[in-house]
Structure 1
Amino acid sequence: MNDTNPSYQDAKRQVERKIGFFVHLAAYVIVNSGLVLLNFLHNPERPWALGPLLGWGIGLLFHALAVFLNAPGAQWKRRLIERELDKQTRQK
């Protein structure tokens, strides 16, 4: 596979973003499982673990949206970069 191929670079970047999301998800599940367990073992009448669960969950949701939705902004940014590169090559 050619590392300089733009399609390859795009695919590699997307795979890295997906791996980053799944690492984030694993950390979320492990840490929040521990917090929920700690909460219900020591203070079951007061569910304080819901705060971090919901707060971090919102961040995780936005991370998932950024990775798995093909946001039109990504294509827009790519087009702007291509235009800028075209301008630079025409000036030379």
Structure 2
Amino acid sequence: MRSEEDELRYIKAQKKVKKIKDFYSHLLVYAVIIPIIIGINLKFTPNYHWFWFSMIGWGVGLALHALQTFEGYKIFLGKDWEEKKIKELMEQDYRNGK
């Protein structure tokens, strides 16, 4: 049975894991959409490469999202990653007394 403090740590860790999952979703959408935009640009207006504006602008937003999400955390996904990450964050909070 978990104490109230452990329950709060678990909820906090879950929120952090959700932020990380949201970032990876954002990255996946970027990786799918940008090539489509490049293809459209090169097919219809090959003499003017306007795709750079989308790619760089969105890339900056993605980089800022990464900085916000991974404030000191290792970027690694593996088997049972979510549960391991939740436990790691809970242990970290426990050591820090939060």
Query: Would the TM-score normalized by the shorter structure come out above 0.5?
Result: yes
Distance 2:39 2:71 in 1: 33
2:16 to 7, 14, 33: 14
Identify, as 1 or 2, the structure richer in helix.
1
- SS of the equivalent of 1:46 reads coil
Query: Normalising to structure 1: TM-score of the pair?
Result: 0.67
1:29 corresponds in structure 2 to 31
Please list every run of at least 4 consecutive aligned residues from structure 1 whose deviation after the TM superposition is greater than 3 angstroms.
none
1:38 to 37, 40, 52: 40
Distance 1:69 1:41 in 2: 40
1:86 corresponds in structure 2 to none
Flag structure 2 segments of 5+ consecutive residues without an equivalent: 73-98
**Greater RCO structure (CA 8 Å; 6+ sep):** 2
Please tell me whether Structure 1 or Structure 2 has the larger radius of gyration of its CA atoms: 1
- SS of the equivalent of 2:48 reads coil
> What pairs up with 1:1-92 in 2 under 5 angstroms?
5-70=7-72
User: Shift in Å at residue 27 of structure 1?
Assistant: 1.3
Aligned sequence identity (%): 29
- SS of the equivalent of 1:7 reads helix
Matched pairs, number: 70
- Over residues 21-57 of structure 1, what are the superposed CA-to-partner deviations in whole Å (9 max), with x where a residue is unaligned? 0111111111111100111122222110000111111
